[in-house]
Amino acid sequence: MLTHIKGARILDPANGRDETGDLWIRDDRIVATPQNGAHPGETLDASGLIAMAGGIDIHSHIAGANVNTARLLLPEYHRAHVRRPAETPLSQVGWTTFETGRLYAEMGFTTVVEPAVSPHNALHAHLELADTPIIDKAILTLLGNDDFVLGLMRSGEGASAICDHVAWTLETTRALGVKVVNPGGVAAFKDNIRSFSFDDVVPYYGVTSRAIVKALQRAVHEAGAPHPLHVHCNNLGLPGNFETALATIAAAEDLPLHLAHLQFYGYGKEGPQGFSSAAPQLAEAVNAAKTVTVDVGQVMFGQTVTISSDVLRQFGARGQARPKKYAIIDGDSNGGGIVPFEYRGGSFHNAVQFAVGLELFLLINDPWRVFFTTDHPNGAPFTTYPDLFALLMDKDLRAEWISRLPKEALAVTTLSSLTREYTFNDIATMTRAAPAKLLGLSDRGHLGVGARADVALYRPGKDVSQMFREAAAVFKDGELVVRDGKVTHDRYGRALHVTPVVEASMQRRMREYYDERYGLQSDFMRVAEGAVGRPHPFGTVACAS
């Protein structure tokens, strides 16, 4: 089928395009303007609308065992969500898989990465993703706190064994990339270590966090996964932790490295409360380190629940749980911590966190290396993105928000002095072009001929937030799925994964390892195509050769 999108302002930074024009879709692809005489099956008058490629979220906790535990831990919020959608706590989190896919689509997002799946729980995560409609999705698989990788490092087996294991894990769990969470710190917590920094040593294994990051960074690169190692640094949330992030950034050296939710590492110890913004120092380091990419993990005010595989950190935050309950799971390799939390605008600490996120957005100068996340739902639900876009595009709106924050908090940040305003082109780069490049998804993030026909159309207006909250129309794989901010057609997308070459020796070794140590067959982790219960649930992404 041929579809004609007529007269939109086409914002396609990947192809250097910002002009009024037409888009043509044939089946699931963008095609060139057909020869005279072609009759589109559907024509959409898009005059006055802005067209962008479908949005891509590189880091959002939308599926898997920990997310599901959070759902079951907080039934009261779900009930509130169903009954009174607009005004209640967590009303916008997109609590079920079905709601998650639809809410993303309504904002014009068509690809979302669940960034923290323990290999043991890969099938569970894929089952949830299979029940997440409309959008495409992917998982990052967790390594670096597991006995196998730490054991390889302890015995000094070297880079090639770790690379083989990374390839085996990516292939077995159908992941797009690898994430490491509090490298070594989660393993150390099982030995009752209560704080863990970049050069601390994991008991028994004798390896540092730094060594784990370096080893996995190289292994992921050599396995050919397009997405670089995705790092959740040590010391999340603690005053003075910007130094941990600085050390991690410096350790990246000449290979690519992605640092997740940098806002949570942007804290100094200055000021009367010993808590201050260190965003300027971090932004300066990111600006200088060309191999490093970051996402922000912006905090927005309201009730949420923090869901993290950083068990050490979540245990440390248990006293701040609101409501007062939490789940701490010492799982295989990682596990998780689920701690409900409410960010309050009147709180000194929360206001500093809010400011740090915006400072990072405004001070990091390359839109290809900094990404939109709220670390959903840890900083805020993903449904707050439209408000965040609006804040970054309008310094007056920002001033209005700032005027309501505690003065003492603003005094330890530079936010009030920042006047930069994002353009639509910045937003399109950071939510479309750059994420596609970062994840190695060459068929999306742009609107050139041959691209996947994931297209979001927005109706610009005075209220930027409203514009991004309710897309005027959204196409996924060429199918019209959203009109006027509401899903009109349900469909199911795919989970994207890489298929690196796996050495037979590693297959054998993993079988022996699981048999001896756990009395299990290593096959239990394998995500079979037919196991997730939907037709064509997967799509592959090419590895570098």
Partner 1 sequence: MKEDPIGAEAAASIAGAPVSLDDAAAEAGRLLARNRQPLIAGLGADIDGARAAIALAQRVGGVIDHMHSAAVLRDLDSMRETGAMLTTLGEARVRADVVLLVGDGLIEAWPDLSERLLRPPARPEGVDVERRIVWLAPQADARLPGFDRDIEIVAAGVGATLAANLAALRANVKGRPVARTGIPQAALDALAAVVKGARFGVAVWTASQLGALEIEMLNGLVRDLNDTTRFSTLPLVAPDNSAGVLAACGWTTGLPMRTGFGGGGPLHDPWRFDAERLVASGETDCVLWISAFGAASPIWPTALDVIALCEPTAQFAEPPHVRIAVGRPGVDHDAVMHSADVGTLVAATASRRSGAPSVAQALERIDACLAEADAPSC
Shortest CB 525 distance to partner 1, Å: 9
Out of 39, 156, 530, 545, the only residue in the binding site for partner 1 (CB under 8 A) is: 530
* Per-residue CA distances from 504 to 100, 168, 464, 501, 512 (Å): 38, 9, 53, 9, 13
Shortest CB 508 distance to partner 1, Å: 16
Count of beta carbons in the 10 Å neighbourhood of residue 291:
15
Q: Near partner 1 by CB under 8 A, which window of 48-56, 227-235, 277-285, 525-533?
A: 525-533
Q: What is the DSSP track for 205-254?
A: T--BHHHHHHHHHHHHHHHT-SSPPEEE-SSTT-TTTHHHHHHHHHHHTT
Q: Near partner 1 by CB under 8 A, which window of 51-59, 314-322, 346-354, 358-366?
A: 314-322
The smaller minimum CB distance to partner 1, of residues 12 and 310, is found at 310
Out of 38, 45, 79, 544, the only residue in the binding site for partner 1 (CB under 8 A) is: 79
Count of beta carbons in the 10 Å neighbourhood of residue 41:
10
Shortest CB 28 distance to partner 1, Å: 25
Count of beta carbons in the 10 Å neighbourhood of residue 123:
19
Find out whether the peptide bond into 323 is cis, omega within 30 degrees of 0.
Answer: yes
Shortest CB 321 distance to partner 1, Å: 7
Out of 302, 331, 345, 539, the only residue in the binding site for partner 1 (CB under 8 A) is: 331
Out of 39, 83, 462, 536, the only residue in the binding site for partner 1 (CB under 8 A) is: 83
The smaller minimum CB distance to partner 1, of residues 123 and 260, is found at 123
Helix axes 279-288, 242-252, angle to 10 degrees: 0
Residues in the chain: 545
Do the Cβ atoms of 312 and 188 come closer than 8 Å?
yes
Sequence-distant (6+) residues with CB within 8 A of 242 are 265, 266, 267, 268, 278, 281, 282
**Lookup: tokens for 435:** 């994420």
The smaller minimum CB distance to partner 1, of residues 328 and 397, is found at 328
360 lies in the binding site for partner 1 (CB under 8 A)? no
Q: Near partner 1 by CB under 8 A, which window of 81-89, 269-277, 370-378, 400-408?
A: 81-89
63 lies in the binding site for partner 1 (CB under 8 A)? yes
Binding residues for partner 1 restricted to 120-149, rule: CB under 8 A: 120-121, 123-124, 127-128, 131, 147
Shortest CB 363 distance to partner 1, Å: 38
* Per-residue CA distances from 268 to 144, 280, 318 (Å): 27, 11, 22
- What CA–CA distance (Å, rounded) separates 173 from 202? 26
Shortest CB 266 distance to partner 1, Å: 29
Out of 73, 134, 139, 430, the only residue in the binding site for partner 1 (CB under 8 A) is: 73
The smaller minimum CB distance to partner 1, of residues 110 and 522, is found at 522
- What CA–CA distance (Å, rounded) separates 74 from 60? 19
112 lies in the binding site for partner 1 (CB under 8 A)? no
Q: Which residues pair with 409 in a beta bridge?
A: none
Q: Near partner 1 by CB under 8 A, which window of 63-71, 208-216, 264-272, 399-407?
A: 63-71
- What CA–CA distance (Å, rounded) separates 331 from 147? 12
- What CA–CA distance (Å, rounded) separates 17 from 2? 22
Helix axes 147-154, 209-223, angle to 10 degrees: 100
- What CA–CA distance (Å, rounded) separates 452 from 423? 25
335 lies in the binding site for partner 1 (CB under 8 A)? yes
Please report which helix (H) or strand (E) contains residue 53, including its range: strand 50-53
Out of 81, 179, 432, 469, the only residue in the binding site for partner 1 (CB under 8 A) is: 81
User: What character string, x for contact with partner 1 (CB under 8 A) and - otherwise, covers 170-209?
Assistant: -------------------xxxx-----------x-----
The smaller minimum CB distance to partner 1, of residues 35 and 192, is found at 192
Q: Near partner 1 by CB under 8 A, which window of 49-57, 75-83, 296-304, 459-467?
A: 75-83
Q: Enumerate binding residues for partner 1 (CB under 8 A).
A: 63, 65, 67-68, 71-75, 78-79, 81-83, 95-98, 120-121, 123-124, 127-128, 131, 147, 151, 154-155, 189-192, 204, 315, 318, 321, 324-332, 335, 516-520, 524, 526, 528-531, 533
